[in-house]
């Protein structure tokens, strides 16, 4: 175990259903291996239901805090996993959108993979940012003022906050490496 993230709390924001399990667990384990404290934040207390390939039920995970309970000041970074329905549900939840906007306003680094950037679109924080995502989000990202690129991982420090993004689960090795670096 390394110690790059000792003393750092990293929030993982997910809806109650629909998060792509590997996009949650792989970054979660990377934060733990680096000595950080991952915290599962959701829109409701209890447990969340993960999925495999958007349709097959995965494991259930206990929620540590709701978006209303998690103070932005306690977060040293934010991870936005994908899955098609997870970020779509989050962007329809005003408290989740406000939480993301507050993280960005505080200048905290954010890491988003696959469909995860959808909530960044809704939060209105993408003007001037360069990012990647699942290809179907490119028009949404452009319409929100961001510049979409097709890259395995992209780190964008523009606009006063660091944004690390990747396209899909195959990009996870590069994503988690860049994510941990951004959270240091």
At residue 65, φ and ψ (nearest 5 deg) are -150, 150
Q: Measure CA 123 to chain center.
A: 13
Q: Are 116 and 97 in contact (CB under 8 A)?
A: no
Tokens encoding 164: 């690390």
Catalytic residue numbers read: 114-115
How many other C-beta atoms are found inside a 10 Å radius of the C-beta of residue 136?
Answer: 10
CA angle 23/149/10 to nearest 5° reads 35
How far apart (Å, rounded) are the C-alpha atoms in residues 2 and 82? 26
């Amino acid at each position: 175990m390394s110690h790059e993230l000792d003393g750092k709390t990293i929030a993982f924001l997910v809806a109650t259903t629909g998060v792509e399990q590997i996009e949650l667990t792989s970054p979660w384990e990377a934060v733990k291996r680096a000595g950080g404290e991952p915290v599962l934040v959701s829109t409701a207390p209890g447990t969340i239901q993960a999925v495999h390939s958007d349709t097959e039920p995965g494991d259930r995970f206990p929620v540590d805090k709701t978006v209303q309970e998690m103070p932005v000041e306690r977060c040293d970074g934010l991870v936005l996993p994908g899955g098609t329905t997870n970020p779509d549900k989050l962007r329809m939840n005003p408290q989740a959108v406000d939480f993301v906007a507050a993280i960005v306003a505080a200048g905290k680094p954010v890491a988003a993979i696959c469909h995860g950037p959808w909530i960044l679109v809704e939060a209105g924080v993408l003007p001037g940012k360069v990012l990647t995502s699942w290809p179907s989000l490119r028009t949404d990202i452009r319409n929100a003022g961001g510049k979409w690129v097709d890259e395995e991982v992209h780190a964008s420090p523009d606009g006063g906050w660091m944004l690390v993004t990747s396209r899909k689960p195959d990009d996870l090795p590069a994503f988690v490496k860049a994510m941990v670096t951004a959270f240091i």
